[in-house]
Structure 1
Amino acid sequence: MTLVVDTVIVGAGFAGIGMGMRLARRGDESFVVLERAADVGGTWRDNTYPGVACDIPSHLYSFSFAPKHDWSRFFAPGAEILDYLRHCALEIAEHLRLGTEVLDARWTGERWHVSTTGGDFSCVTLVMAVGRLSEPRMPPTPGIDTFTGEVFHSSDWRDRDLAGKRVGVVGTGASAVQLVPRLAAEARGIVVFQRTAPFVLPRPDFEYSADDIRGFADDPASRESLRTDLFWGMETGFAARVGVPGHLDALRRSARDHLEAQVADPGLRAALTPHYEIGCKRVLLSDDYYPALAGPAVTLEPSALASIDGARVTAQGGATHDLDVLVFATGFLTTHPPFAARVFGRDGANLADTWRDGMVAYASTTVHGFPNLFVIDGPNASLGHNSAIVMIEAQIGYVLGAIDDDARVLEVSLAAQRRYTADLDSRAADTVWLGGGCESWYVDATTRRLTLLWPDLAYAFRDRLAEFDRDAYL
């Protein structure tokens, strides 16, 4: 039996929950939110490693239409964000279908037919809200099947006890920077495999006092004012990404000063000095990563993991280490999302094939050949300097505008999509993401296009998607 609804939303993280909440609050009841896991929360459900937290201020990393006055810290820990999302999801509990994985979605000419592990659904509008941090990236490593200890990705932590064990951490991105200091306090020894040194800035975190929280509760305007100030303060970070000299120099100097202040050993400091422009890769925030690396429990291996033979692992630089556990903090599949292989549009076109030469989408949301399909947090919809939630809310508003349009079938024209893509490529050309001398997950490895990030200010994206532009559609 097929359940017929107006809208199917795939994914119950920030994007899927937010989309559902906005539909429900305006009285739309004919929708379901499909989630393959047994709980909501997306990234914040999956990532429970020690030290996991957000690097965007709490009052900005939350829905503007569902504010929370009692955030415990300036930067919320992961568990608190998950609790927030679970609370938000209560509004749409009757629409949630947990433990329901999408097998494929096919456009039939008038509607989408969605096959899942929990039955079939038919809908006019299909919203893919699976995010970009849902599929772990495990780089192929010769001999990994011979490893005699535990091997897992950082997003598959599951209450693991590593006390007294020799642990290898592969990667030095955002997860590793949070994880390594916590492991240093309990593991017998840690080896950090660093392919590329990250830029690290101080992390200005603090705990909100009882008076602060009471003030936010009693005076919602002050909470909203804080959110606004945080937003515009973070917008200034874009100036460094487009190479404005004063801003770029200040950001680089702050990172260099932080490294020099926290790492006294000149050899270690040299190994931790990046050799690309700041902002080209994700800039990290931490006050305890460098001290952990300088401490006795941690060994920095300044090269990538090359091979494994039993308990012995070898780095590209030739050094060998005997380990009990390997943690891959190696990020996620982002530029070619696996979900695309399960989506089939007009004339049977497959979304993964359509995106073979790099992801594209008009308004970062709709794709030619895929009528009534909307992708949230997909092509060029992420940010390197501000809150992802601002972008998600802008896309939700755009989707609602499309749903309200009189046309039953909406497909963006190829010409409009090409113009939009050319405009983004032009804006991206002079940014640090393409000219900073690094390899990053923001850039498609084949085409060298910036396909993950929006190459402009967040408010420009918000303004661009403020109204549904019917003229771009067939």
Structure 2
Amino acid sequence: MANKNSNTQPSVIIIGTGFGGIGMAIQLNKAGFTNVTLLEKADRVGGTWRDNTYPGAACDVQSHFYSYSFEPKHDWSRKFGLQHELLGYMEHCVEKYGLSEQIRFNCEVAEAVFDEAHNHWILTLTSGEKLQAQVVISATGQLNQPASPNIDGMEAFKGTSFHSARWNHDYDLKNKRVAVIGTGASAIQFVPEIAREVKSLALFQRSAAWVVPKPDRPFKTWEQNLFKAVPAWDRLYRYLIYWKNESRGLAFTGFSSLLKVLALQAKKEARKHISDPGKRKQIIPDYQIGCKRILISNDWYPAINRSNLDLVTDPIAKVDATGVQTQSGKHYPVDVIIFGTGFRASEFLSPIRVTGRGGVTLNEAWKNGATAFKGITVSGFPNLFILYGPNTNLAHNSILYMLESQFQYILGCLKVLQEHPGAAMDVHQHRVESYSSTIQKDLEGSVWSSGCSSWYLDANGKNTLNWPGFTFSYRLATRNVNPADYQLLKSAG
């Protein structure tokens, strides 16, 4: 066991080193909470930006706002950051803020159990090693567990197959017959990149996505220099991005008719770039725009128009040794199958087994759907704080803004714990229920409840992911910690 800290400063373990984990550690250290250990299951930091290295990987939030407010980067190459730049930015932050000594790589957490007698968490790694800390902060994110469909016959396939989040860079796609299953946010980016070099591409689409133009371009050198020379302009530029994005929240939460303009824009782009009327009809969704994630791309429709790309909407029946067969009986011979099927986003903290007070597991507590007070704390799991937790995802702005709100709230909780050495904070169940009820009621009037099936919904059809309002309202809600929301548990040890 790791030694318990002898002073009043609570010991903290952060699970994950993506934007959430890195930013949280920086803010903890700045506030004087230095007894911090970050556990990373991989051999380097980066989270989703480490894992997703597929061709064309980039962010769909503007670079200047998909970065920490306290660590501006002036030399972004484009308006929307590329994967390697975002990963480099995170590595820069680790180095600048001296986090390297606090990170333990190749340490995957298998289990976390709350010890009620001593008010601390005992974490068991997959290696069998046990660690303990008074506070555990989950920074595993929502997009870390790839979702691969269970298709009959996959084990019989003689070719190569992989998920876009585990891209096989050793496999040369040039002149290969390729099947891509899925047309979500990842496929929107990599399909145009690989379509240029493959012999043929069978794109299997279950439901079309609304895709609108991406207002992206490279930054000119003088612009980068101006950002650096005039920090106030850099901050103003970021501020303008925030309010431009934030204004779109109106369309998602109560005025969905505003999204019709985007729908018309998507249809116009499809007509402009796709000459085949059959493809054009199949690529436009039949559900209300915004119900699923709206995607941005300038090369998606031109890629669909390519003669070597076959858009397949006939459902997949099975995979055999040589390819994919649809329900109509048509067979598509392929050399490689790439899954662009997204992530198990609603399985928070998966696959870690988390056990709280009374031996109750998090899966049991969430049997009717994941819920957390302000998206951060769960009743029965004292001193466990979740970054990017239930109902904190966004469809209109940067998740980093939400994360920075959560950083401040968790810091407030740690300051309470510092004033009560050895204690643990457990949010009252009635506070969680009241908060969750309000969230779900607000979601009822949103575009996400308009009837489509999306990754925003869990297995029970409950929206456990999205925040149903403006990000500034979330910041106000997390600005201060109200001790009355929590039961303070005294340690018996």
Using structure 2 for the length normalisation, give the TM-score.
0.93
Question: Which residue number corresponds to residue 409 of structure 1?
Answer: 424
Cα deviation, residue 143, structure 1: 0.2
After TM superposition, list the pairs within 5 Å mapping 1:49-448 onto structure 2.
49-90=54-95, 91=97, 92-109=99-116, 110-117=119-126, 119-159=129-169, 160-244=171-255, 247-337=258-348, 339=350, 341-405=352-416, 406-407=419-420, 408-435=423-450, 437-446=451-460, 448=461
Give 2:32's match in structure 1, choosing from 4, 15, 27: 27
Give the 3 Å change call, closer, same or farther, for CA 318–344 of structure 1 in structure 2: same
Which secondary structure state, in structure 2, belongs to the residue aligned with residue 54 of structure 1?
strand
Q: Secondary structure at the match of 2:65?
A: coil
Give the stretch that moved more between structures: 213-222 or 245-254: 245-254
Please report how far the alpha carbon of residue 336 of structure 1 lies from its aligned counterpart in structure 2 after TM superposition.
2.2
**8 Å contact 1:281–1:440 — kept in the other structure?**
yes
Distance (whole Å) between structure 1 residues aligned to residue 218 and residue 353 of structure 2: 44
The aligned counterpart of 1:459 is 472
Task: Give the residue type in structure 2 aligned to 1:143.
Answer: G
- The 1-side partners of 2:39 and 2:2 are apart by 14
Deviation of the 1:340 alpha carbon: 6.0
Matched residue SS, 1:333:
coil
CA distance in 2, matches of 1:275, 1:377: 30
Distance in 2 (CA, whole Å) between partners of 1:21 and 1:285 is 32
- The structural deviation recorded for 1:242 is 2.8
Instruction: Select which of 455, 468, 472 maps to 2:481.
Output: 468
Aligned equivalent of 1:46:
51
How far the C-alpha of 1:355 sits from its partner, in A, is 1.3
| Contact preservation (8 Å) 2:141, 2:348 | no
Render the CA deviation track for 1:6-63: whole Å, top value 9, x for unaligned.
1000000000001111111222210100000000000000000000000000000011
Q: Give the corresponding residue for 2:491.
A: none
CA contact (8 A) 2:273 2:302 kept: yes
Q: Percent identity, aligned pairs only?
A: 38
- Unmatched segments (≥5 aa) in structure 2: 6-10, 488-493
- Which digits, 9 at most, give the CA deviation of each residue in 1:302-350, with x for residues without a partner? 1343311111211244432000000001011111235265111111111
Q: Which amino acid aligns with 2:144?
A: S
**DSSP 3-state at the match of 1:180:** helix
TM-score, length of structure 1 as denominator length: 0.97
User: Quick one: distance in 2 between partners of 1:352 and 1:413?
Assistant: 18
Question: Which stretch has the larger CA shift, 42-51 or 160-169?
Answer: 160-169
Count residues with an aligned counterpart. Answer: 472
The two structures, once aligned, show a CA RMSD in angstroms of 1.4
Structure 1 unaligned blocks of 5 or more: none
Contact 2:162 2:168 in 1 (8 A): no
**Cα displacement (A) at 1:249:** 2.2
Q: Within 2, Cα distance between the matches of 1:16 and 1:24? A: 12
Aligned partners of 1:76 and 1:338: how far apart in 2? 27
